């Protein structure tokens, strides 16, 4: 596959690369997007029925069951060639790679990336809804969808329940994590945006942060995005094809 010349020139010259990924990158591995995951028992439920603090305190077992099912799906999916290409790019001599992702799976880590900022949290981290202590226990994930599943009690404070360490609607992003994301963008000499719609803020504002610093922004997305006015170059190609092609062409 031929890489557009302008994109390849930027990639060859970059030594500090930051990749921002969205739901499209994970969808290539078979992970349903947020709304696609509202199937089966949850088909007729709105986001506020499952992904808000109010939903959690109203009915923790229902919310926990939905997230347990999503976690099971994410755990069975595997990184695609694009995830592995990002990690390979970061292992090249003289290259520093940072990943900022809106996704809540662990495909980047399993694909070999080490410096990953999850701005919306992770399905594989859990915390107490009272004391915020991280949960270190082993979860029992159902093989099939179940409508309700009791969340574990917090062993640290004895008062709370264990919830997903996810940023729900109406909650603020973790300042430390988002601060690291901004630093990763501002410290780059190339930002590669992969599979994001460009409509979920504040993460969608990161390309604008790069442009304000004079950092070139390229997009890898077969469907394009709402970021068209913040891009230097866009390549309408799937991440699993475009990213490996870029990495393979770096030495040509």
The Cα–Cα gap between 118 and 183 comes to 14
Does residue 234 contact residue 219 with C-beta atoms inside 8 Å? yes
**Which residue, chain included where needed, has tokens 């880590």?**
109
Q: Which of 80, 118, 120, 126 is catalytic?
A: 120
Give the three-state DSSP class for 233.
strand
Task: Examine the residue annotation and report whether 120 is marked as an active-site residue of this protein.
Answer: yes
Q: 78-115 burial, b for 16+ CB within 10 Å, e for fewer?
A: ebbbbbbbbbbbbeeeeebbbbbbbbbbbbbbbbebee
In this structure, what token pair is assigned to residue 49?
């029925």
Backbone φ and ψ for 134, nearest 5 degrees, come out as -70, 140
Would you tell me how many other CB atoms lie within 10 Å of the CB of residue 46? 12
Give me the active site residues, please.
Answer: 120
């Amino acid at each position: 596959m031929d890489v557009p010349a302008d994109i390849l020139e930027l990639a060859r010259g970059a030594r500090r690369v930051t990749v921002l990924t969205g739901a499209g990158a994970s969808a290539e591995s078979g992970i349903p997007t947020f709304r696609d995951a509202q199937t089966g028992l949850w088909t007729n439920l709105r986001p506020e029925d499952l992904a808000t603090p109010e939903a959690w305190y109203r009915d923790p077992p229902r919310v926990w069951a939905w997230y347990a099912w999503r976690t099971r799906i994410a755990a069975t999916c595997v990184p695609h060639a694009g995830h592995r290409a990002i990690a390979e790019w970061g292992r090249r001599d003289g290259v520093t790679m940072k990943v900022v992702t809106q996704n809540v799976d662990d495909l980047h880590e399993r694909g070999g990336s080490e410096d990953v900022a999850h701005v919306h949290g992770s399905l594989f981290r859990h915390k107490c809804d009272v004391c915020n202590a991280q949960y270190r226990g082993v979860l029992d994930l159902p093989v099939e969808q179940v409508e309700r599943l009791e969340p574990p009690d917090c062993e640290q404070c004895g008062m709370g329940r264990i919830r997903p360490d996810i940023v729900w609607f109406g909650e603020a992003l973790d300042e430390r994590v988002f601060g690291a994301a901004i630093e990763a963008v501002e410290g780059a000499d190339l930002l590669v945006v992969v599979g994001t719609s460009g409509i979920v803020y504040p993460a969608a504002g990161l390309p604008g942060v790069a442009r304000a610093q004079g950092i070139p922004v390229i997009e890898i997305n077969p469907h394009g995005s709402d970021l068209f006015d913040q891009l230097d170059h866009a390549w309408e190609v799937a991440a699993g094809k475009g990213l490996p092609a870029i990495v393979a062409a770096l030495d040509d």
